Every structure is written in structure tokens, then in C-alpha cells.
């Protein structure tokens, strides 16, 4: 029996065995072929809109061409020599497969161990929602020898050294005080500052205004999550204090070649996220849009007001559900996540191919120990953090929170950050950003309790921005991403979500003035 998916009418046998058309029960004003044509025209207009946008220039930082030995390019998982420099034949095979796009060529990439590359062909995938992944651009990543890259590496070293310091103790802890002072001395550090100085109150935070207000961790990573007929308490498994990985050179080199190392040691007690180590492990185990699904459920559960532009805001007879209601919100959070990842993967594999921070740390170690020479900016070479790391671990390697180090795909932009930017943008479009979150909390220093927070009001918009930054910069705390990976990833995800919301404007029957939201740069827009 054959089934048709788009049946407009059915036939039935009448008396005498003849076929006749069954009368329709459809009472809408636009029926049959007119409806089909209208749906077709909406799709065509959306496609034409995307087609007619100027195609951006996808410029990279030039490091791949500048350094013939590819010391500044992503190569993890391929074979390397004892310096951690990639086998050039293997690298060229990777580039050949990315250039041709032929699936057979990807099967001829020479790996250095058991770990496989993560989905390079996703960079070539098409999507049917929002802008094509190739139609959005991010600026070039900082160059290997730049002052900006030096500052980002300095920040990563300090993040690794402060993983076990509770966020609530940053102001009083001598390590975080020293980190803030050292980062203030970098000539091109672009993290948030107060009076041109990094402070313990701005340390490792995001760049939106909401990031600097209240606790480091967003309320959406702390509050209970109403999950259907049950409640999820956000206490998570974390790793044991001091459980840092890849601090021995042999381990570092093995991981670059695609080997697996000894797994993490876990704390037997579940805890609320209280420090960089907890946040790193949460982002080690989470699924793509988990935090934003939870945020959606928290907002819906607390009765957070919908955005003032929502067409059902003042309706006397209707409420939203499939459009402009809970089902719509939950669907879009998942939809924009995969679209954001497609956009990030194109830039990772086909444009930038930026090396991971752990590799930069290996370069510093080999340079400092005199077995190689690399063109580092003097800011990182003169930073006190290198001696602190060496005195603690006996190497200049960047301590990583994960035994496998970074994932086996390029660094820029960060996938977690791009997802976060897209999902947060959707939630800001649907909920009233100015609503003050009731009964805010902060984690106790041991992560066992949630305590009442007392301080400036925390709004939905600011805490969604903070959640996005936690989601992005938390991966920096693990040592697997750079600050610019995270910040530029957030903005790419935002652009993805805005593109999807723009397309969807034409699909609604409701009288609708547009989605209103505040971007990460503080600009308020209506889509």
C-alpha cells in the first residue's frame, strides 16, 4: 500500500463502484492549490532573501601560509614529530580532502592514533533554516605572534591555576589577585576591565554588561529545573580538586597524536557549580543545548513574562503554544543549536583551522626549554604565570581539565559558544528581558548549598547573557578554547538566530510587530 504525505482529498467508492471526490471539511479562507502555492512562495522568498545578501569575505589570519611547518595551524589527531609539529604529508592530505569535498578523500587522511577527526564534512553541509553556513563570517583569529594571542594564553594559564578557587572567594584569594594584576600588564588583553585594570570582579568574565553583575554563575545553571512531572536539582558530578591533565610532556605528545590517556578522577559528592573545575566538567558532559533547554523550562516554570512584542501578550481570548508559546520556544532552542554548529564547523575546517591552546602551550614548553624556537610575543614570555606553572608542574605545558585535551576539530570559533549565542538570542526574543528573577541564589564555597543572593537585581536578559558567557568561557577554563573563540562564537551564534527569526517572520498568521531583543553588544533590535 502506498501512502502520500500531502493528501488534499481522498477518493472513495460510491454506489455502483464509481469513484467520487469526498467533500472537504476545510473551512479556511485559503484552500487547496492556493495554500500550496502560498507555502511555496514563502519558501521561495526566504531563499531569495538569503541569496541576495552580499556574500562575505572569509579572511583568515594568514598563519597557515606564513609558517610552512604549520606550527600555528590545527593538526591534532594527525601524526607529529617529537616537537609536536605535524607530519606535512598528513596535513596536506587533510587540506586536500577539505578542498575537494570528495567523501572518498576524507577516508585517506592519515591519523596518528585512535582518535578520529570530528565531522569535517559537516563544514560542507546545507541547511534549510536561516542563513547558509557559508553566508556568515567572523573576523580573523588573532595571529600566533600577536599581543592579543599572548594575552589570551596568559589568561588560560591563570584559569588553569585557579580552577579550584570558588567564584565567591575570588576577591580574597591571592592566586586570583595575582592573576588580575598580571593580566592587567598585558598590552592587548581584551577581557572586561574597570578603569583599564582587570580586577577580581571582572576576572574570566564575559563582555556583556550582565556578565559583571552578581554571581559569576548564571541563575539558569543554579536554580531547580521543572522537567515535566519531576524536578531536576542542578547538582552535578565534578572532578577531584587538582585533577589536571597533560602536564607531562609524554602525555601531551601522545594526545596530539590521537592517543587516549588516564581518565579523570571524580568527586563522589554531587555539587552545584562553584568554581572553574566544576564548570569545565559540566561542559565536558553536557549535550549541545542542555543549559538552554533548562533555561527555557526555568523561565516557563517561574512564569516569566513573555516579550512585549508577543502577539498574545494582550489577547483577551487566546494564548500561544505552537506559535509564540512553550512548544515554539522549546523547538527553536534545539533548531538554532544545530544551525549554529553548522556555521561554526564551516569556519573551523574550511576557513581558519586555528590551533588549540594546548598546542600553543607545547610550543612554549619547547621554546622555554631550548629544544625549539618560535616567534612568541614578548608579553607571554615576560609574564610571571609561566614560572608559576613550571614551579607547580615541572613543565610549561597548559594544564588541561580533560584527559583527552581538546576535541579533534579546530579551535575557532568555539562550537559551545556559537550554540550559546544562538540559543540565548532565541530566549531573549521570546521573554521579557527586563523581568527581575525572583529569589536569586549563589553557590556556597563548597558547592553543597544554594544561598540567598543579595545585591543588584538580576534580570532575565542579563542572566541569559551570563549563561551564554558561562557556556562559552567555561570551555576556556578547561583549557580547550581561547577567549576570542568564545566571544566571536557567541556573536556568530547570535547572527544565526537572528537570520532564522527573520525568515520565520513571514510564516505566522498572527498580527506581529517583530521579535525584539538586546544583542550582546547592547544594541536593541526588532526583527
The number of C-alpha atoms within 13 Å of 255 and in the hemisphere containing its C-beta is 26
- CA pair distance 203, 350, nearest whole angstrom: 33
Q: Do 297 and 234 touch, CB atoms closer than 8 A?
A: no
Q: Is the dihedral of CA 218, 281, 169, 397 positive or negative?
A: negative
Give 119: exposed, middle or buried? Use CB within 10 Å, 0-12, 13-18, 19+: middle
Strand partners for 275: 166
- Lookup: cell for 487: 566571544
Task: Report which of 216, 279, 291 is spatially closest to residue 455, judged by C-alpha positions.
Answer: 216
328 is catalytic: no
Q: Which of 193, 203, 153 is nearest to 173 (CA)?
A: 203
Options 352, 365, 409, 481, the catalytic residue: 409
367 is catalytic: no
Residue showing cell 599572548: 150
- Give every CB contact of residue 179 below 8 A, 6+ residues apart in sequence: 158, 161, 162, 198, 203, 385
- Please tell me the distance from the alpha carbon of residue 430 to that of residue 326, in angstroms, as a whole number: 10
- Cis ω on the peptide bond leading into residue 273 (within 30° of 0)? no
Q: Which helix (H) or strand (E) holds 452?
A: strand 450-452
Catalytic residue among 80, 352, 377, 416: 416
User: Can you give the three-state secondary structure of 55-114, one letter per residue?
Assistant: CCCCCCCCHHHHCCCCCCECCCCCCECCCCCECHHHHHHHHHHHHHCCHHHHCCCCCCCC
Question: Any idea which residues carry the catalytic annotation?
Answer: 409, 416
Amino acid at each position: 500500500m502506498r501512502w502520500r504525505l500531502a493528501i488534499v482529498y481522498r477518493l472513495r467508492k460510491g454506489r455502483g463502484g464509481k469513484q467520487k471526490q469526498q467533500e472537504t471539511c476545510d473551512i479556511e479562507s485559503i484552500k487547496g492549490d492556493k495554500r500550496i502555492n502560498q507555502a511555496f512562495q514563502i519558501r521561495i522568498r526566504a531563499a531569495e532573501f538569503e541569496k541576495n545578501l552580499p556574500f562575505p569575505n572569509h579572511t583568515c589570519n594568514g598563519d597557515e601560509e606564513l609558517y610552512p611547518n604549520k606550527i600555528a595551524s590545527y593538526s591534532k589527531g594527525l601524526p607529529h614529530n617529537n616537537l609536536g609539529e605535524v607530519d606535512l604529508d598528513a596535513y596536506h592530505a587533510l587540506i586536500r580532502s577539505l578542498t575537494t569535498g570528495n567523501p572518498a578523500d576524507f577516508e585517506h587522511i592519515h591519523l596518528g592514533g585512535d582518535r578520529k577527526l570530528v565531522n569535517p564534512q559537516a563544514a560542507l553541509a546545507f541547511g534549510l533554516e536561516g542563513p547558509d553556513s557559508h553566508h556568515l563570517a567572523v573576523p580573523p583569529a588573532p595571529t600566533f605572534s600577536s599581543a592579543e594571542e599572548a594575552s589570551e594564553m596568559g589568561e588560560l594559564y591563570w584559569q588553569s591555576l585557579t580552577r579550584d578557587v570558588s567564584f565567591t572567594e575570588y576577591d580574597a584569594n591571592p592566586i586570583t589577585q595575582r592573576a588580575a594584576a598580571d593580566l592587567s600588564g598585558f598590552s592587548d588583553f581584551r577581557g572586561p576591565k574597570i578603569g583599564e585594570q582587570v580586577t577580581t570582579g571582572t576576572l574570566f568574565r564575559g563582555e556583556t554588561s550582565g556578565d559583571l553583575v552578581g554571581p559569576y554563575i548564571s541563575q539558569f545553571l543554579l536554580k531547580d529545573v521543572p522537567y515535566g512531572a519531576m524536578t531536576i536539582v542542578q547538582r552535578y558530578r565534578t572532578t577531584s580538586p587538582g585533577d589536571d591533565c597533560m602536564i607531562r610532556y609524554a602525555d601531551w605528545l601522545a594526545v596530539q597524536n590521537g592517543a587516549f590517556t588516564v581518565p579523570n578522577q571524580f568527586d563522589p559528592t554531587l555539587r552545584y557549580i562553584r568554581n572553574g573545575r566544576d564548570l569545565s566538567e559540566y561542559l565536558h558532559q553536557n549535550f549541545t543545548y542542555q543549559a538552554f533547554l533548562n533555561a527555557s523550562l526555568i523561565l516557563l516554570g517561574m512564569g516569566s513574562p513573555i516579550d512585549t512584542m508577543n502577539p498574545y501578550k494582550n489577547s483577551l481570548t487566546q494564548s500561544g503554544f505552537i506559535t509564540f508559546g512553550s512548544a515554539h520556544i522549546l523547538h527553536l532552542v534545539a533548531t538554532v543549536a544545530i544551525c549554529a554548529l553548522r556555521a561554526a564547523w564551516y569556519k573551523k575546517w574550511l576557513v581558519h583551522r586555528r590551533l588549540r591552546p594546548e598546542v600553543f602551550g607545547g610550543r612554549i614548553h619547547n621554546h622555554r626549554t631550548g629544544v625549539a624556537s618560535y616567534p612568541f610575543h614578548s608579553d607571554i614570555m615576560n609574564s610571571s604565570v609561566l614560572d608559576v606553572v613550571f614551579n607547580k608542574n615541572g613543565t610549561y605545558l597548559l594544564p588541561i581539565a580533560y584527559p583527552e585535551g581538546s576535541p579533534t576539530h579546530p579551535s575557532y570559533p568555539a562550537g559551545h559558544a556559537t550554540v550559546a549565542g544562538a540559543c540565548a538570542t532565541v530566549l531573549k526574543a521570546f521573554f521579557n528581558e527586563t523581568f527581575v528573577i525572583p529569589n536569586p541564589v549563589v553557590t556556597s564555597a563548597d558547592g553543597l548549598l544554594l544561598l540567598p543572593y543579595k545585591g543588584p537585581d538580576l534580570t532575565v536578559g542579563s542572566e541569559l547573557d551570563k549563561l551564554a558567557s558561562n557556556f562559552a568561557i567555561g570551555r576556556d577554563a578547561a583549557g580547550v578554547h581561547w577567549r576570542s573563540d568564545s566571544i566571536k562564537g557567541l556573536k556568530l551564534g547570535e547572527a544565526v538566530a537572528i537570520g532564522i527569526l527573520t525568515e520565520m517572520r513571514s510564516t505566522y498568521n498572527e498580527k506581529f510587530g517583530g521579535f525584539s531583543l538586546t544583542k550582546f553588544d547592547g544594541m536593541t533590535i526588532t526583527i
